[in-house]
Amino acid sequence: MPGENRRSARKVRGWYLPFLLIFLAMAYLAFSVSLPLFGPLAWSVLLSFTVYPAFSWMKRRLFPRSRGGNMPAALATGVIILVVVMPALFGGYVAAREGIKLYESFSGVLEGIGRSGGIDLTDLLPAYIADMIRPLTERYPLLEDLAQQIGERLGPMVVSASRAIVGSTLTIAWNLAIIIVVSFFLIRDGNLIIGYLTDIIPLPPGEREAFFRRAKEILQAVVYGVIVTAFVQGILGAAGWWYAGLQSPVFFGAMMMLLAMIPFVGTALLWGPAGIYLLYAGKLGDGIFLLLWGTFVVSMADNFIRPLFISGGAKLHLLTVFIGVVGGLAAWGFLGLFMGPLVISLFFFLLESYRTMWKAYLASPSRSSGTAGNDKK
């Protein structure tokens, strides 16, 4: 028997290197295939996680006899389509339409640049603003030259941006289709996928469960933190909109709630132009109030509520949240708002797991006896 065991062990060792090489080659190919889909796949995971409680409730209460969970998974995917995909498609359509209009408008302007060798920036501005600027440019030739140089650079930039918007519409539609399909299967087979990952992750059994529990806590804190922050900003924005005397504060508050999820600009896309409009309409006090309210109340709410909510819900240090959010936005854009804190936190979790296992190894009896034997020699 011992001889057979040794022969079996040698056979396993003989196949180990070829298997490892084949596995690494296939892993590289699988990574190359999946990398272009990183964004849609990550969004699918995030959205599936968000609607999974609704899927579990529907499967348990409404469709207890549903075979394989297809019907509740389809309904949960429908929620994603209504809340995320349809607004994104509408936004892409509007952006493409406006991009085409900009391209058509500036193509004629660029032809004028080619014929005359330059363009007056005031020709690109609204008439009432141009009337305010033109006397200054006539009095100070340096300003006129500066305006001409800005116009020469601005035209091609706007046309290039317009082309990019139009060209990205098909890409957005394709990515949304991928998100819908992948989300359906992630929702339906989520438990099977988590079970498989739990089996193969190279951690002790207790650490495996803690790893996925930690990931769930972080995702919940980040997702709900973004939603709660957007809700608060929408209410504050609607209140400022109403106080400034503008129409439809409830509608524009809801729009600010959606825009609040966009990093850096967010609600400013609404209250900024509205405040400027009030100033030009002669309502100086209302315009100044709305701009100050948007800057120091609505926008600042995002800087305080979201980090505190994420830090408290996920039990993360505020510095970890800051690094995760800022670094994630720089690396992955809007997706990084969710992925950044998750990646940083799980990295620190693995470091802590390694520290715990290393301390247990150093304190193990076999390690202690081996060290004692070496000391005697």
Helix, strand counts (H, E) of the chain: 15, 0
Q: Are 219 and 111 found together in one domain?
A: no
Range of the domain at 224: 208-361
Which one, of 372, 370, 315, lies nearest residue 341 by Cα?
A: 315
Q: Is residue 23 assigned to a domain?
A: no
Q: Are 236 and 274 found together in one domain?
A: yes
pLDDT at 168: 66
184, 200, 216 - which closes a domain: 200
Q: Over 70: is that where the pLDDT of 327 sits? A: yes
Q: Over 50: is that where the pLDDT of 252 sits? A: yes
Q: Are 85 and 103 found together in one domain?
A: yes
Q: Is there a contact between 163 and 99 (Cβ–Cβ < 8 Å)?
A: yes
Confidence band of 341 (pLDDT split at 50, 70, 90): confident
152, 173, 200 - which closes a domain: 200
How many CA atoms, within 13 angstroms, populate the side-chain half-sphere of residue 375? 6
Q: Is there a contact between 271 and 241 (Cβ–Cβ < 8 Å)?
A: yes
Helix axis angle, 268-280 to 205-243, nearest 10°: 10
Alpha carbon 149 to chain centroid, angstroms: 36
pLDDT at 94: 63
Confidence band of 28 (pLDDT split at 50, 70, 90): very high
DSSP 356-372: HHHHHHHTSHHHHHHHH
Q: Is residue 258 assigned to a domain?
A: yes
Confidence band of 123 (pLDDT split at 50, 70, 90): low
Total structural domains within the chain: 2
Q: Is there a contact between 74 and 180 (Cβ–Cβ < 8 Å)?
A: no
Quick check: helix, strand or coil at residue 363?
Answer: coil
User: To the nearest whole percent, how much of the chain has pLDDT over 90?
Assistant: 13
Q: Are 131 and 272 found together in one domain?
A: no
- Asked which of 7-16, 169-178, 185-194 is least confident by mean pLDDT, the reply is 7-16
Confidence band of 235 (pLDDT split at 50, 70, 90): very high
Which one, of 112, 123, 132, lies nearest residue 150 by Cα?
A: 123
Give the pLDDT mean for 238-262.
Answer: 86
pLDDT at 114: 43
Q: Are 144 and 270 found together in one domain?
A: no
Q: Over 80: is that where the pLDDT of 109 sits? A: no
203 secondary structure, DSSP code: S
Q: Over 70: is that where the pLDDT of 149 sits? A: no
Which residues lie closer than 8 Å to 66 by C-beta, 6 or more apart? 59, 72
Q: Is there a contact between 20 and 30 (Cβ–Cβ < 8 Å)?
A: no
Report how far residue 36's alpha carbon sits from residue 44's, in angstroms, rounded to the nearest whole number.
Answer: 14
265 secondary structure, DSSP code: S
Report how far residue 304's alpha carbon sits from residue 324's, in angstroms, rounded to the nearest whole number.
Answer: 15
Backbone angles phi, psi at 54, to 5 degrees: -65, -40
Q: Is residue 6 assigned to a domain?
A: no
Give the pLDDT mean for 96-112.
Answer: 55
Give the pLDDT mean for 37-41.
Answer: 90
pLDDT at 241: 92
- Asked which of 29-38, 87-96, 236-245 is least confident by mean pLDDT, the reply is 87-96
Which has the higher per-residue pLDDT, 143 or 93?
A: 93
pLDDT at 236: 93
pLDDT at 206: 77
Backbone angles phi, psi at 145, to 5 degrees: -65, -40
Distance of CA 288 to CAs 271, 282, 301, Å? 11, 11, 19
Q: Is residue 313 assigned to a domain?
A: yes
Which one, of 345, 110, 62, lies nearest residue 220 by Cα?
A: 345
Q: Are 61 and 135 found together in one domain?
A: yes
Q: Over 90: is that where the pLDDT of 349 sits? A: no
Which has the higher per-residue pLDDT, 206 or 6?
A: 206
Backbone angles phi, psi at 206, to 5 degrees: -65, -40
Which residues lie closer than 8 Å to 136 by C-beta, 6 or more apart? 143
DSSP 159-177: HHHHHHHHHHHHHHHHHHH
Q: What is the mean pLDDT of the chain?
A: 76
pLDDT at 77: 92
Q: Are 179 and 219 found together in one domain?
A: no
Confidence band of 281 (pLDDT split at 50, 70, 90): confident
Q: Are 57 and 79 found together in one domain?
A: yes
Give the pLDDT mean for 269-293.
Answer: 86
Which ranges constitute the DSSP H helices of 189-283? 190-200, 205-243, 249-259, 268-280
What value, to the nearest 5°, has the Cα angle with vertex 180 and ends 174 and 182? 100
Q: Is there a contact between 55 and 76 (Cβ–Cβ < 8 Å)?
A: yes
Q: Are 214 and 174 found together in one domain?
A: no
Query: Per residue in 191-201, pLDDT tens?
Result: 888 888 888 88
Q: Are 256 and 350 found together in one domain?
A: yes
Q: Are 174 and 232 found together in one domain?
A: no
Which residues lie closer than 8 Å to 300 by C-beta, 6 or more apart? none
Q: Over 90: is that where the pLDDT of 371 sits? A: no
Query: Per residue in 66-80, pLDDT tens?
Result: 777 889 999 999 988
